[in-house]
């Protein structure tokens, strides 16, 4: 059981890294601190990747907590 959870955790970690790297880096830290020129909303595929990243992060957190108790 512990080995199965570990494999799932590794797969989620790789997927989460891939999703983070796929995201656009145009916003960056400067945009968050007010250096951005205009407000830009997420559209299309960017919104899907953003939502998938949140879901993947939540799943990774849940699997990490489960592996803690096994």
pLDDT in tens, 6-31: 999 999 999 999 999 998 776 555 55
Residue 13: per-residue pLDDT: 97
Tokens 């891939």 locate to 18
Total domains, the chain? 1
pTM here is: 0.76
Residue 31: per-residue pLDDT: 53
SS3 assignment for 2-70: HHHHHHHHHHHHHHHHHHHHHCCCCCHHHHHCCCCCCCCCCCCHHHHHHHHHHHHHHHHHHHHHHHHHC
Tokens 């592996």 locate to 67
Tell me which residue range forms the domain holding 51: 2-69
């Amino acid at each position: 059981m512990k080995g199965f959870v570990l494999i799932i955790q590794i797969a989620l970690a790789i997927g989460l890294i891939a999703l983070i790297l796929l995201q656009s880096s145009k916003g960056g830290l400067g945009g968050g601190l007010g250096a951005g020129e205009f407000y830009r909303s997420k559209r299309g595929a960017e919104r899907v990747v953003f939502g998938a990243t949140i879901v993947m992060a939540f799943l990774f957190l849940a699997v990490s907590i489960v592996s803690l108790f096994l």
